[in-house]
Homo-oligomer: A and B are copies of this chain.
Amino acid sequence: MTADLLRLTAALVDIPSVSHDEGAIADHLEAELAAVPWLTVERHEHNVVARTDLGRSQRLILAGHTDTVPVNGNGRAVVEGDTLAGVGSADMKAGVAVFLELARTVAEPACDVTYVFYAAEEVAAVHNGLGVLFRDRPDLLVGDAAILGEPTGAAVEAGCQGTLRLAVHLTGRRAHTARPWMGVNAIHRLGPVLAAVAGFDARRPVLDGCEFREALQAVRVEGGVASNVVPDAVTIVVNHRFAPDLDAAQAEHRVRDALAPALAAGDTVEVLDAAASAAPGLSHPLLAALVERNGLAVRAKLGWTDVARFAEHGIPAVNFGPGEPTLAHTQEEHVERGPIEATHAALADLLAHGA
């Protein structure tokens, strides 16, 4: 007999867990899981890991973050009919509720299962609980495939695109604006750079049947000296999202090549940060079985998620959760009973039958 998953999600929403304040929800999950006889539970900081140890040939990781973005007048769960509103309801306490329910009810899964509930996904990467576990307790994250409960509307979003930020520093030569021909205006030099960005060959490769879609976008620009001075410096920051058939170094190379014709001696291009992409991973038998036996919709994940952390450690991973991705981080965040139960049913089937 399955619990009321909407009520279970509501109970988790009612435990406040804005990033950096996940102590209470970690306590709650740890206590719930410790009461389950077939699980071994370990806690590291506010990250809780519960595992079966049945000697199965394969191990599946089900991972979800417990933190939420800051409350915006939506800190309490509000249930109306089959709809639950509240911060974190879609991103991703509904997914956490599904995993918790599976952990409490599936005593003899066809594959061993590692349930990971981690902190601090919604803030800077340095705090990320999954990253902390990979660094401090990689033994807890051994597995053959992983499913991340990020909101996908109960579809499978495969892999993720990588992300890269580059600062392009353009130079010029100062002069008085009444005699601009004595100088070189760095801001005017943005024109060809923006043309190169707009004309960038953003590829749409199809990998494991999923079409990815790259992008190159300017996200910040800043320059100027004084109101009567031809400026000698401007910086433009671009964000590149690249498909998982390239690694970050290859993607950086492509952007540098595209910008090169617009650059001059003295200009510099600086990598601000980079995060690896993740291949779709759908060829893994466990993930293929999830999709095929349940007839799930599959699409490429265009944003970046923690599936890339699993991929980086050689573990194929997909995103699969009940929330609607477009509602994440909005004041109107809510989740419906239907996709929660559908997600639960698909995963229960996977645990029951394995690959």
Residues of chain A touching chain B, judged by Cβ–Cβ distance below 8 Å, are: 161, 163, 165, 176-181, 185, 187-188, 190-191, 194-195, 197-198, 215, 217-231, 234, 236-237, 239, 241, 272, 302-304
**Contact of A221 with B221 at beta-carbon distance under 8 Å, contacts A163-B228, A191-B195, A191-B198 already known:** yes
Task: Evaluate whether A221 and B218 lie within 8 angstroms (CB atoms) in the complex, with A194-B191, A237-B227, A304-B178 already known.
Answer: no
The CA of A197 and the CA of B195, in the complex, are separated in Å by 15
Decide if A224 touches B215 in the complex (CB within 8 Å).
Answer: no
In the complex, what residue of chain B is closest to A225 when comparing beta carbons? B219
Report chain B residues within 8 Å CB of A190. 190-191, 194, 221
CB-nearest residue of chain B to A165: B227
Q: Which residues of B contact A191 (CB under 8 A)?
A: 190-191, 194-195, 198
Alpha-carbon gap, A226 to B219, bound state (A):
7
Q: List 9 A-B contacts (CB under 8 A).
A: A163-B178, A177-B217, A178-B241, A187-B218, A219-B224, A219-B228, A219-B230, A221-B223, A222-B223
List chain B residues, Cβ under 8 A from A219.
177, 187, 224-231
A243 to B: closest C-beta gap in Å: 11
- Name the one of B194, B215, B237 contacting A194, with C-beta atoms under 8 angstroms: B194
Contact at B239–A187, with CB atoms within 8 Å? no
Report B-chain residues with C-beta under 8 Å of the C-beta of A198: 188, 191
A237 close to B221 (CB less than 8 A):
no
Beta-carbon nearest neighbor of A235 in chain B: B221
A194 to B231, CA, bound (A): 14
A92 CB, nearest partner CB in chain B, Å: 17
Asked if A178 and B227 make an inter-chain contact with CB atoms under 8 angstroms apart, the answer reads no
User: Is the pair A185, B303 in contact by a Cβ cutoff of 8 Å?
Assistant: no
Pick the most buried of A163, A219, A222, A236: most chain B CB atoms within 10 A of its CB: A219
